[in-house]
Amino acid sequence: MAKRRPQYPSVLNKAAPAKDGGEHRLRMLKVLFQHYGISFPTDSDAAWFQLALSLAADHIAAFRPAGKRGAPRKWSYAECREYVAAVDAHLTGAQTLKGAIAEAEKSPLWRQRRTASIDGLAVRYREAKAAIAAANALYRRYREIMYPALTDEQISRSIRRRRELSGVRGAAARLLSSTDEN
């Protein structure tokens, strides 16, 4: 995509008078230098070089840095879950997927993130559902390998116990640090 040309001051967009003698061009050159933030008048070669590079960057693609390339960023796992939950909340038996997406889009959170059409968002919804299913399958496989003999209940109990212990440790550390300060 081509870069938009810069907006020059309006005086630079007018043709020079027929009989000028160079004074008008000198004034316009001063305006051009000011537009690019270069001091004028100057005898410095560096100032002229800077003006040449500034003009080249505005008008010649080879003098501009390359833009971002590649596909747009994929949604994170958390964003996928949020989006699927938002759409699923509006998805009833009689409502279509596109209708549910349109309803979910009315919330301020998703209105700001909307970057595609409803059809594109339907594709994103299906991709998000697939990503969530893949992540859950990966987690189940991880649990089977790491904890082959444990049931889901035992794993949940272990996680709760670790959270409780970390909370107790944190409270004890806070208590000890407050007594040390006194």
Task: Tell me the pLDDT tens digit for each residue of 99-146.
Answer: 888 888 877 766 555 566 788 888 888 888 888 888 888 888 877 777
Q: Which of 70, 79, 165, 63 is nearest to 127 (CA)?
A: 79
- pLDDT given for residue 1 in this prediction: 46
Give the C-alpha separation, 123 to 127, whole Å.
6
Higher pLDDT, 81 or 10: 81
Report the chain's mean pLDDT, rounded to a whole number.
76
Give the C-alpha separation, 100 to 88, whole Å.
7
125-162 burial: b if 16+ Cβ within 10 Å, else e: beebeebbeeeeeeeeeeeeeeeeeeeeeeeeeeeeee
The model carries a pTM of 0.44
- pLDDT given for residue 181 in this prediction: 53
- pLDDT given for residue 83 in this prediction: 84
